[in-house]
Structure 1
Amino acid sequence: ELMIQTEYPELEGYTLIEGSGPMMLGALKRAIARNEWIVTTNWAPDISWASVSKAAGGPGLRWLDEPKKILGGEEFVAVIVGRKFYEELPSDITGFLSRMWFDISEINDLMFQMGEGLSADEVAKKYIKDNSLKINYWKTGKISS
């Protein structure tokens, strides 16, 4: 909190409360229910984006500019495997895994569905059914329409 007060003196009067992801989501939902403003340190993907999205009947979230990056910047996730992985597994498996990708909004939606009580298997089956062209590309490397 001292760092935020030092870097952003215009935030005087605001309180930074440390807590878990579920605590933040609870505070976010309470503020929305009360029609109050709130600033949270969200990240993506995260269930909060889907659970308060306009599609879910909520007001939606938006990113605020934070030019000093005191809370960090954009990050990414990458899969790294040993050389033997590609040497020992069949090319259809390694090809599938190298072509597989998810958009952040898709991950948010998948997390939301599981948060709503669907099992991982149910969510996966629905995703496969709803994204057959993408899955076919992952499997074959061929773009079809």
Structure 2
Amino acid sequence: MKLLKQLLLTAAFGAAVASAVPAFADGKPTIKIGYVEGWDDSVATSNVAAQVIETKLGYPVKLVPVAAGGMWGGVARGDLDATLSAWLPATHAAYWEQYKSKVVDLGANFNDAKIGLVVPADAKATSIADLESQKDAFGGRIVGIDAGAGVMKKADDAIKAYNLSLQLMPSSGSAMTAELARDMHANKPIVVTGWAPHWMFAKWKLKFLDDPKKVFGGAEHVDNVINPELEKKAPQVVAFLKKFQWKPGENESIMLAVQGGAKPDDAAKTWVSAHGDRVAAWTADAK
């Protein structure tokens, strides 16, 4: 009787554990998605996609934090199956030229994306060209993010194109927004490297500086880029990624939730469970 009771308890514990994790179909491979940890939109989009792929399509997902160059190279080599953070045509133009023969672009998950220099909405400066005459007000510097980011390369180009003597200060996405928060609270002028979509535009009144020389390019899109082998490895995932596209404001709500303290996977779970119609549309061809 004691042995039977122990066996029953073990079986019950195993059933409880099984019910606590997603039920993946036997033999389905793990999908590895590369994202940039300091990019809030990359974190939000990748976590939502992971939730959909796991809970609706039955594939386990591993999210892999990498730098932008490692993200593109990883997908090209097959170390990663996909990235949902490809900024084109300008921001990641160099990566696209380097790897375009080894990856497949499935299309945009976000349209009307933009990069540039961002200031408080009430700042006197309206154009990048205005920064030189107002450099003292801005502390003689532009607060940036990680040095290898596309927006940082373009910011360096802008400094040369507009003959600016402001210093570009590399940091990280979180450090940049922390400094932005302090200066906005103190009502101090600040200029940062920025991009949309980003939760900071929902939290504060900000504006992009005009870029008449088009150093930062025009409107961009954020694309889903995969390794060609993913079509054979997980055709359902590819079918989903072809239809996975945000409507305006959707991913900003997830970014704001994370910025407010929610864990990225929890924020993604909440959004997915509350938007069954959107998820059903995305996965309609993946069943």
Judge same fold: TM > 0.5, yes or no: yes
Is 1:130–2:274 an aligned residue pair?
yes
Deviations 1:68-114 (A, max 9, x none): 133x2243332232443223434x43322211122463333322222
- Give the equivalent residue in structure 1 for 2:57: none
Provide the secondary structure at the position in 2 that maps to 1:41. Answer: strand
Return closer, same or farther for 1:47/1:131 CA change in 2, 3 Å cut-off: same
| Contact 2:199–2:255 (Cα < 8 Å) also in 1 | yes
Larger Rg computed on CA atoms:
2
Unaligned stretches of 5+ in structure 1?
1-6, 53-58
Q: How does 1:1-145 map to 2 (within 5 A)?
A: 8=129, 11-14=132-135, 15-17=140-142, 18-20=169-171, 21-50=173-202, 52=203, 59-70=204-215, 72-73=216-217, 74-90=219-235, 92-103=236-247, 105-141=249-285
Which structure carries more relative contact order (alpha carbon 8 Å, separation 6+)? 2
Q: CA deviation at 1:10?
A: 6.3
For 1:76 and 1:131, the matched residues in 2 are separated by: 23
Provide the secondary structure at the position in 2 that maps to 1:11. Answer: coil
Provide the secondary structure at the position in 2 that maps to 1:80. Answer: strand
Deviations 1:21-60 (A, max 9, x none): 333323322222123343332112334234x2xxxxxx42
Q: CA deviation at 1:116?
A: 1.9
Return closer, same or farther for 1:83/1:42 CA change in 2, 3 Å cut-off: closer
- Count residues with an aligned counterpart: 126
The amino acid across from 1:45 in the alignment is P
The amino acid across from 1:69 in the alignment is K
| Contact 1:47–1:112 (Cα < 8 Å) also in 2 | yes
The structure with the largest helix share of the pair is: 1
Unaligned stretches of 5+ in structure 2?
1-127, 143-168
Q: What TM-score does the superposition give when structure 2 sets the normalisation length?
A: 0.38
Return closer, same or farther for 1:84/1:30 CA change in 2, 3 Å cut-off: closer
Residue identity (%) = 26
The amino acid across from 2:253 in the alignment is D
Return closer, same or farther for 1:139/1:65 CA change in 2, 3 Å cut-off: same
| Contact 2:224–2:241 (Cα < 8 Å) also in 1 | no
Provide the secondary structure at the position in 2 that maps to 1:122. Answer: helix
Q: CA deviation at 1:136?
A: 0.8
Q: What TM-score does the superposition give when structure 1 sets the normalisation length?
A: 0.67
The amino acid across from 2:229 in the alignment is K
